[in-house]
Each structure stands twice: as structure tokens, then as C-alpha cells.
Structure 1
Amino acid sequence: MTISPAKLSDPAVRAFVTAVNAGDREAFLATLSPDATMSDDGSERDLPQWIDREIFGPNGRMDVQTESNGGHALVANFTNETWGEMRTAWRFTVAGGKISRFETGQA
């Protein structure tokens, strides 16, 4: 069963997932702090390059399965046109209403 993005606990994470699923890069970037960082499968990545390659170029989508840690940890089926569907874990650090870091990888 998936959790509707509108029901996610943390407003910043809710906006992040909503922007991903809408394919809205501008709204996505608005969820992040100016110095936001990220990692994928434990490796630091260049955030703008990664989001274009993994999310916005190949029409990425997150179908959230579970949330924990006050909405700062998600397990989602992530789908894009490059890799198909993968079960992924997402961890978010939120400060001042913005995401300052997210980490993702296979769950």
C-alpha cells in the first residue's frame, strides 16, 4: 500500500515527494537549502547533476511505502525510465523548513 504524498508528516519532505512526482524541478529545488548535499548508495553525488540524471531527465517517481523518524525516513518504490522500479530508502535532514541533506539507496 502506498502513502499519498499529501499524508507525509514533514512538510519539507511532503513538498520534495510532491515535486518529484510532478516532474517540477523548480519546486523541487525550492525544498532544498542553498547548500544542500546528497548521497546515493553511500557515495557523495553532485546534486544538480544527479537530480537531472535520476529524477527529472528520466521522469522519476516516488511511491512511498513507509515513513518513520518523524517523516524524515521513507521507503519508496522509485521508478524512472533509465532503471525501471527499485525499492529505495530515503533519509532527510531538515533544518529551518528546508532539506539540507538527503541520502538515498536501495532498500
Structure 2
Amino acid sequence: MSIQLAKLSEPAVRDFVAAVNAHDRTAFRAVLTPDATMSDDGTERDLDEWTEREIFSSHGHLDIDKEKAGGRSLIARYSNDTWGEMRTRWDFVVEGGKVTRFETGQA
């Protein structure tokens, strides 16, 4: 059973998930700091290139199963047109109401 978006504890993470699921590039960039960074399965990635490929052009979608660390750590079923659905973890660093870093990978 998924956690409803409105129930996520951390506002910046809630906005991140909402932007991903709406495929809204503008809202997505608005929740990130200009110098935000990310990694996928422990490998540093170019944020713009990765998000375009893994989220926006492939219709990425997050269904949240569990949150921890005050809403800054999620376990989710992530799906996109490229990979189908997989169980993933998402960890966020939030400063000043914006995401400065996120790390994702298989859970």
C-alpha cells in the first residue's frame, strides 16, 4: 500500500515526488538548489542528463511504500518505460527547503 503524497513529512521531498510524478521539469528544478548533485547505485551522475533519461523522457513514477528519517529517506516502487518497475531507495539532503542532493538505487 502506497503512502499518499500529501502524507510525506518533508515538504521538499513531497514536492520532488510530485514533480517527478507530474513529469514537470520546471517544478522539479524549482525544488533543487542550482548546484544539486545526485548518485544512482553509488555512482555519481550528471543530474540533468540522468533525470531527462530516467524520469522525464521515460515517464518515471514513484509510489512510496515507506519513509524514514523525517521523510528524507524513502523506499518506493519506481517505474519508467525503460526499466519497468523496481523497488528503490531514495535518500535526500535538504537545506533551506530545497534538495541539495539525492541518492537513489535498488533497495
Same fold? TM cut 0.5? yes
Partners in 2 of 1:70 and 1:27 — Cα distance? 22
Q: Which residue of 1 aligns with 2:13?
A: 13
For normalisation by structure 2, the TM-score amounts to 0.99
Superposed counterparts of 1:60-99, under 5 Å = 60-99=60-99
Superposed counterparts of 1:25-64, under 5 Å = 25-64=25-64
User: Match of 1:17, SS?
Assistant: helix
Partners in 2 of 1:59 and 1:25 — Cα distance? 12
Please give the root-mean-square deviation of Cα atoms over the aligned residues, in Å: 0.4
Number of aligned residues: 107
Structure 1 stretches of 4+ moved >6 Å:
none
Partners in 1 of 2:6 and 2:57 — Cα distance? 24
> What are the superposed Cα offsets for residues 3-62 of structure 1, whole Å, 9 maximum, x if unpaired?
011110000000000010111011011000011000000000000000000000000000
Q: Which amino acid aligns with 1:91?
A: D
Partners in 2 of 1:80 and 1:25 — Cα distance? 16
In structure 1, the gaps of 5 or more residues are none
For normalisation by structure 1, the TM-score amounts to 0.99
Partners in 2 of 1:61 and 1:86 — Cα distance? 11
